Amino acid sequence: MEFDILAFVLGCIFGGIVGWRVCNNFHTSLTKDLLKAVGVGESQLKRAIETLQASVPAADESALPGVEVRVEQVGNQLYVYRLDTDEFLCQGATRDDIVNCLATRFHKDFKIIVSEEHGAKYLKESPTA
């Protein structure tokens, strides 16, 4: 009985891989044939892509999703928590450590929001500012 289950699982995996490859090749050749039939060459396609990329407006910082955080200092360490869930995000000894840690943890299209009451003074470039 166990061999039948193993054969079934292996057959599903093999079938999935083969099916994916066949589908990928089919769509690639279909796309090439369609573009050839309507007379679109590679250079025209590249120009169209560049035109579309140029027409997309640059990301406005106000439109970016934000994550509100709270920063605490305990001894010589800074601890950062999400404000809404109190989830621990990272820690570091300096502002640069925190900034680097948050940059690697979150996608570049996120902004980190820290209010004065939640520890923004710890993340300012100059502590006296």
State residue 67's pLDDT score: 81
**pLDDT tens column, 40-94:** 888 888 888 888 878 776 655 566 677 888 999 999 899 999 888 888 988 998 8
Tell me the pLDDT of the chain averaged across its residues: 83
State residue 113's pLDDT score: 81
d(CA 23, CA 13): 15
Q: Average pLDDT of 21-48?
A: 87
Instruction: Name the strands in the sheet holding 77-82, side by side, starting at the edge strand that comes first in the sequence.
Output: 88-92, 77-82, 66-74, 111-113
Query: How many percent of the chain have pLDDT more than 70?
Result: 86
State residue 23's pLDDT score: 92
Q: What are 88's strand-pairing partners?
A: 81
Is the pTM here over 0.85, yes or no?
Answer: no
State residue 49's pLDDT score: 85
